[in-house]
């Protein structure tokens, strides 16, 4: 299973979609968009740029970034939802272990 998280288009527009690709089944599944990207006004939306991503025990975690330095989120597949699990006191751009 491959997970494609966010990115930018050729014309440098932010992408908030998350896609799972299963090469064995040759299938593609769109899952919950990145957190804080579907707010009521565009100004409230966060852009996940230069963030870190890791998988641990079949869970996907994201943290850091230009506008999301303090956030750590985990994707919950059973709820198809990103859940904020931590708020970091320090600012991190792209670091995961």
93 Cβ contact partners less than 8 Å away, ≥ 6 residues apart: 50, 51, 64, 65, 66, 69
For residue 21, give the H/E element and its range. Answer: strand 14-22
Q: Give the global pTM.
A: 0.76
* pLDDT tens column, 54-97: 888 888 999 877 777 778 899 998 999 999 987 776 655 555 55
């Amino acid at each position: 299973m491959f997970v494609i998280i966010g990115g930018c288009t050729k014309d440098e527009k932010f992408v908030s979609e998350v896609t799972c690709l299963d090469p064995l089944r040759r299938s593609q599944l769109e899952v919950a968009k990145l957190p804080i990207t579907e707010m009521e006004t565009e100004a409230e939306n966060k852009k996940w740029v230069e963030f870190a991503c890791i998988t641990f025990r079949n869970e996907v975690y994201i943290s850091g970034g230009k506008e999301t330095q303090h956030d750590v989120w985990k994707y919950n597949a059973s709820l198809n939802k990103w859940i904020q699990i931590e708020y970091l006191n320090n600012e991190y751009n792209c670091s995961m272990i």
